[in-house]
Structure 1
Amino acid sequence: MRSQNSKSNIEAGANPAEPKLAATILGDCTVSLWGLTATERLKRSFVRAGVADCRSDGDPLPQSGEVVLVRADYLFEERLIRDLVARPGVILAIDRRTETGGSARVAVAAHVDAARAEQVAAALRDGPLGGQNVAGLAVLGPDEVGSAYNHALRKRSSPYVLSLTDEPRAAIEHRMFHGAYKGVTDFVTKWLWPAPALVVTRLAAKLGYSPNFITAISLFLVFAAMGLFAQGEFLAGLVSAWLMTFLDTVDGKLARVTLTSTPMGNVFDHGIDLIHPPFWYVAWWYGLVGPLGSTIDGELAAYLAPALWIIVVGYVVGRLMEGLFIWLFRIEIHAWRPIDSAFRLFTARRNPNLALLTVGTLCGRPDLGFLAVAVWTVLSLLFHGVRICQAAWLRRSGVTLQSWLSEADRRKTA
């Protein structure tokens, strides 16, 4: 891990006598990915990793402290930049195809002390390492520098480094987009949205739309769907609701591929996601029983109010159970074991519930779709309640709970 001294110099008011951390980009690359040139992307990545001093090729190398050196003609996954910043004394190398069809070990980045920066920078410019030992530094691959477990996206995926001169731009953008997807999510987001979301995200980046702009449109659609549901216009409301969930996928991917996610943007996006579903359910219920609602069987109508309570209270309790699991065991319940990740595909959250409401509406029975959501909410709560009890029992037995996606858990079960 990076020393505390190195970290503290990034913060305002650091002691000038302590070692500093700077970054230098070797070369320049104008290949544009998602509206950012490779050089601009690297600078943005370093700032997001806490390195304020980012220098271009031709600027003098730092004379003291530590230096992260990267080649501009390669694309580095953002988390790999963060890991490299936290890993001094290494050269990052990849295996690159040669013109003869073989492969060669090529140095693409390094984290060194300033005294060795000139020598290592020359080695990076040369590229192929052969069998040489550069400044006595460890030569590591992306999997050795970074972690295969991406905690933020709840998935296992090897951190990547891609040559911007070997791969077509469309293929690189495709890899970046799918690399920005969460591994544990619902079936709509995982299986139905990726292909159209790639097209819309690319268009949004080309037009220069910000993720917050897309989120603002989503918020408008939240209110549109709620109003339509309350009027008993269920099909029209579902169109608005599904468009909202689609844009909810687009804004997150746009933020990640353009490196424009911010704490405020995350609060805006996740706040909307967290709050709006209960209002949709209340509006749906009102659309069924209110003066503008649909004509439904009087006998069945008696079950709708209890169903509403089950759905709304169940939603709140479900989110509290997820938070309780994190608080008790320091992992997300959906990332604990494979069965939990699989159940997340269909658990009673917004998108699976919308699917039930859509099926009911298309069959001419929006009331039955509503009751189905209530039943599924109860079953989901029971499942998660059992899982919390099982986790508590295991911890009481001395077992340390870890996500099946984490490296430690993978080694344990291998």
Structure 2
Amino acid sequence: MTTTTQAAPAGLILGAGPESGDVRIWGMSAAERLRRIFRRVGVAAADRAPASGTVVVALGGWVYDESLIRTLAQRPGSVLLADDGQAVAAHVHAERAAEASAAIERGADPGGLTRLSPAELSYNPELRKREDPILLRLTRDNVRAVEARTFKGSYKGVTDLVTKHVWPVPARIVTRWCASARLTPNMVTFVGFLGVLGAQYFFWNGAFGLGLICAWIMTFLDTVDGKLARVTMTSSKIGNVFDHGIDLIHPPFWWWAWYVGAFHPGNPPPASWYVQWIHLSPLPLAELALAVILIGYVVQRVEEGIFMRAFGMHVHAWRPFDSFFRQITARRNPNLLILTPAWALGRPDVGFYLVAIWTALSLAVHTAQLAQAFATPRERVVSWLSR
């Protein structure tokens, strides 16, 4: 028995038009942005329709959310409509490509196709938020507004309070500069990685002010690199692993370095101290706090992984409370919000203890979330954002 797979559709970009052909968004034209989206969703951009197969035809002067083109590419026989009902893109068989292209360039519906609209695709599981995908004509008059909209669309809906409420405006400015300068997301991630190393070094040696400067710069660039990748359509698997790998691994090393800087500046504990850990011997208060922070961080991430594997979504997207708690749970940025004022008041040791307490409380909340999910009927464990 043989199986056949449908060939990837070809992609035709229809005339951008005099209004938007020379307008740049994030350092590229709308047509170039669409070409990058085609590449990302598996559509082969072509100069003319093939003799067979299917074709995605789309107006080159419009700015599309990637999810719209991906959905369109998966649904032969469909047409994408803007909010005003204008047809802007369609997925048709090759023999209808010329007819559909002519109709769409006139702003008319080719007819006989299933209609799609942005409102149907308002939930984005990757970014954990509900928001209508962008679909706008690009002109000289609205380019900044469209950039603002695409930047907002690149943001995760469920994240920590610093990333959500503090970084958006400065990050948009820096992201625009990076795009204009042709900097890649991986370049930004690498500079952020240098910040990781700098914070580690300064914390370890008790230079908390310099370490916090490096740490906050790193957290800011960690916002910029992801947004730059999304708005310029240049994200990659390697870049994603590089970025998320750094995010996952470095926080425990920072807290360990803070412990050394606060209680043993430049002088890590002797080997016998680690033997105490192994044999679960009673630990002094500072060492107990470090154990709570390190073990708590690892267990929380494991619990998040279990939830994702069991229910196919992030625990933070399950219920409104879970999304709220993601803003303040004991992760990197909320912990830095505790440590920074503690250092400013001259008590980095007190800040360390407060992080340990908050980590223990956060771990208790995450454990309760996981237990509640497994005690709930499977069909009810769905994201409140998708309802």
**Fold match (TM-score > 0.5):** yes
Q: Deviations over 1:262-289 (max 9, x none)?
A: 0000000000000000110111011012
The runs of 5 or more residues in structure 1 that have no matched partner are: 11-20, 97-104, 294-300
Pairing partner for 2:63 from 75, 78, 96: 75
Query: 3-state SS of the aligned residue for 1:405?
Result: helix
Counterpart code for 1:336: W
Deviation string 1:154-179 (CA, Å, 9 cap, x unpaired) is 11111121011375211111111111
1:117 to 97, 103, 123: 97
Q: State which of 294, 301, 310 in structure 2 corresponds to 1:312.
A: 294
Asked if 2 retains the 8 angstrom alpha-carbon contact of 1:116 and 1:135, the reply is no
SS across alignment from 1:345 = helix
Tell me whether 1:49 sits opposite 2:41 in the alignment. yes
Which of 123, 126, 130 pairs up with 1:156? 130
| Deviation (angstroms), 1:391 | 0.9
Matched, 1:325 2:301: no
The 3-state SS of whatever aligns with 1:232 is coil
Q: Which amino acid aligns with 1:106?
A: Q
**Residues 206 and 265 in structure 2, CA contact (< 8 A), matched pair in contact too:** no
Letter in 1 for 2:363: L
Residue 86 to residue 4, structure 1, CA distance change in 2 (3 Å)? farther
Contact 1:119-1:135 at 8 Å conserved across structures: no
Please name the residue that 1:142 is paired with. Answer: 118
Q: What letter corresponds to residue 113 of structure 2 in structure 1?
A: L
Contact kept in structure 1, 2:133 and 2:153, CA below 8 Å = no
Aligned to 2:271: none
1:34 to 3, 26, 30: 26
The 5-angstrom pairing of residues 231-310 of structure 1 reads 231-292=205-266, 302-310=284-292
Instruction: Summarize the Cα distance change of 1:344–1:95 in structure 2 as closer, same or farther, 3 Å threshold.
Output: closer
Matches within 5 A, 1:155-234: 155-165=129-139, 167-234=141-208
C-alpha offsets along residues 104-156 of structure 1, whole Å, 9 cap, x if unaligned?
x3111001111222211111111145xxxx34223332223xx2111111111
| Structure 1 Cα separation of the partners of residues 90 and 265 of structure 2 | 68
Match of 1:298 in 2: none
Quote how far apart the aligned CAs of 1:399 are.
4.3
Percent of aligned pairs sharing the same letter: 50
Aligned to 1:127: 107
> For 1:82, what is the secondary structure of its paired residue?
helix
- Amino acid in the other structure paired with 2:229: A
Aligned residues: 366
Give the AA of the match of 2:242: F
Q: What is the 5 A alignment of 1:66-105?
A: 66-96=54-84, 105=85
Residue 329 (structure 1) shift: 1.9
Q: Give the alignment's Cα RMSD to 1 decimal.
A: 1.7
SS at structure 2 position matched to 1:158: coil
Q: Report the TM-score when normalising by structure 1.
A: 0.85
Moved more, 328-337 or 265-274: 328-337
Counterpart of 1:315, as a letter, is Y
Deviation of 1:366 (Å): 0.7
**Residue 292 of structure 1, CA deviation:** 4.5
1:5 partner SS:
coil
Q: CA deviation at 1:251?
A: 0.4
Normalising by structure 2, we get a TM-score of: 0.91
The 1-side partners of 2:188 and 2:90 are apart by 37
Q: Is the 8 A contact 1:347 1:380 kept in 2?
A: yes
> Structure 2 unaligned runs (5+)?
268-282
2:72 and 2:79 in contact (8 A); partners too: no
Closer/same/farther in 2, CA of residues 123 and 220 from structure 1, 3 Å limit: same
Taking the aligned partners of 1:221 and 1:165, their CA distance within structure 2 comes to: 39
Equivalent position SS for 2:313:
coil
4+ residue runs of structure 1 moved beyond 3 angstroms? none
CA distance in 2, matches of 1:369, 1:316: 20
Distance 1:215 1:51 in 2: 28
Residue 325 of structure 1 and its aligned partner are, at CA, apart by: 0.9
